[in-house]
Amino acid sequence: MTDTIFALATPPGRGAIAVLRLSGPAVEQTLTALGATRLKPRMASVRDLAHDGVRIDQALVLRFVAPHSYTGEDCAELHLHGGRAVVEAASQALIALGVRPAEPGEFTRRAFQNGRMDLAQAEAVADLIDAETTAQARQALGQLDGRLSETYAGFRRDLLHALALVEAEIDFPDEDVPDNLARTAGPVLDRLAEDLRRAVETGRRGERVRDGYRIVLIGETNAGKSSLFNALVAREAAIVTPIAGTTRDVLDADLIIGGYAVTLSDTAGLRDSDDPIEAEGVRRARARAEQADLRLWVRAPGDPDGVAADYVRPGDLVVANKADLEGAVPNRGLEVLTVSTRSGEGMSRLHDWLAARLARDLSGADFPAVTRERHRLRLTEALAAVEAGRKALDIAPEMAGDDLRRAAAALSRVTGEVGVEDILGEVFSSFCIGK
């Protein structure tokens, strides 16, 4: 039998109120033991809570009766005065009454297991709690509404439709099985493959919104990368000196530009070095530049073209720094913005440029985007199976059924309809306690 759990649902520490949340079969009897009786479901009531004759608090109590609750079980919320001693006393009383402190994510896990939400929605709960930008929150809300799950369900419907066509043909074979199938199931699979491909692509965008868009500063030593890094993060995070080769490690900072989460990285100047520490820094700088969503090539007047030229891609930006000094900066066909981190000239234009780029790459009318690598891997798997099934239609239709079933299984794993146990740990381990 499931046990009854509780957790503090508000942040620990002193506050106006603290909410203790309970879920499980013993909720009603626990409330009664604490003196909270005659509670109407979903109605807030003020009750004096006490245990063993000792008063705990005058609290607002809410009761939810299964299955009409977050977890689908009997639930309650105790809205206590938000002092540490009150919360402590209430927690001790609950433990004494046999109610167990919840594990991280245990409430949402129960909600999933009781069919109140699917896995993609459970992940959205975690994302919404962790959201620090409006874009992250908007994306998570869309996913919580079930829009992402609906997209996956649509894929599965198309797949099962194609599978039914394939099986019907094979069960009642005549000469023209491959021809008939190419006519009936073929277009369905072609369309599905196209949709899956598009979903995998939105996955890159969704993950960037969720985890941060990666911008890397690269360039020659002394171009002013670290100065620019400090200016953008608005603090002296990186060491700036006139000595070439000052920066060795990759420095990361999280910031928000135009409502989007960004991870900005400062790197070592790209040059050959005999110093093994600097050489390792250069190697890391290159690796970072390759993975980034955008590279800012920081250049000062007189900088040689150097190796950075090998790392920039179309769409990257040249930031021509040291506008206060004389000299031209060649642009190598890229867009150029002129700034001076010393005088501040051009910095607001750079900021606007970055905000516009983020909006271009990350906003999408076709939310919901796929938000996690876990989803993207499964979708990619489903896509490969659909493509294999499509090929099999023409040559060996009896094989196509297996491919399509494999694709359906991959999709089901995303929302947690099959193969659940091995992914539950992964999904719920990142939750905070009380959710």
Ligand X SMILES: Nc1nc2c(ncn2[C@@H]2O[C@H](COP(=O)(O)OP(=O)(O)O)[C@@H](O)[C@H]2O)c(=O)[nH]1
Say how many residues touch ligand X, by CB under 6 A.
Answer: 21
According to the binding rule CB under 6 A, does residue 322 interact with ligand X?
yes
Query: CA–CA separation, 30 vs 21, rounded Å?
Result: 12
Tell me which residue has tokens 């005065």: 81
Select 37 or 331, whichever has its Cβ closest to ligand X.
331
> Cβ of residue 330: shortest distance to ligand X, in angstroms?
17
Select 159 or 218, whichever has its Cβ closest to Mg ion.
218
What does 30 bind: Mg ion, ligand X, none (CB cut-off 5 to 8 Å by kind)?
none
According to the binding rule CB under 5 A, does residue 341 interact with Mg ion?
no
Which residue in 4, 69, 121, 227 binds ligand X (CB under 6 A)? 227
Angle at 290 (CA atoms; ends 285, 292), nearest 5 degrees: 90
Select 89 or 320, whichever has its Cβ closest to ligand X.
320
Are the C-beta atoms of 424 and 431 separated by less than 8 Å? no
> Cβ of residue 257: shortest distance to ligand X, in angstroms?
20
User: HSE of 243 in the Cβ direction (CA atoms, 13 Å)?
Assistant: 7
Footprint (CB under 6 A) of ligand X, residues 269-298: 269
> Cβ of residue 9: shortest distance to Mg ion, in angstroms?
45
> Cβ of residue 240: shortest distance to Mg ion, in angstroms?
7
What does 397 bind: ligand X, Mg ion, none (CB cut-off 5 to 8 Å by kind)?
none
According to the binding rule CB under 6 A, does residue 222 interact with ligand X?
yes
Length of the chain: 435
Helix (H) or strand (E) holding 317: strand 317-320
Which residue in 247, 321, 341, 371 binds Mg ion (CB under 5 A)? 247
Are the C-beta atoms of 263 and 213 separated by less than 8 Å? yes
Which residue in 151, 202, 226, 371 binds Mg ion (CB under 5 A)? 226
Query: CA–CA separation, 146 vs 228, rounded Å?
Result: 41
Nearest to 386 by CA among 204, 200, 202, 194: 194
Query: CA–CA separation, 403 vs 181, rounded Å?
Result: 15
Select 240 or 355, whichever has its Cβ closest to Mg ion.
240
In this structure, what token pair is assigned to residue 136? 């992250």
What does 227 bind: ligand X, Mg ion, none (CB cut-off 5 to 8 Å by kind)?
ligand X
In this structure, what token pair is assigned to residue 3? 């046990």
User: HSE of 147 in the Cβ direction (CA atoms, 13 Å)?
Assistant: 14
| Residues at the site binding Mg ion, with contacts judged by CB under 5 A | 225-226, 247
Which residues contribute to the site for ligand X (CB under 6 A)?
219, 221-227, 240-242, 246-247, 269, 321-322, 324-325, 340-342
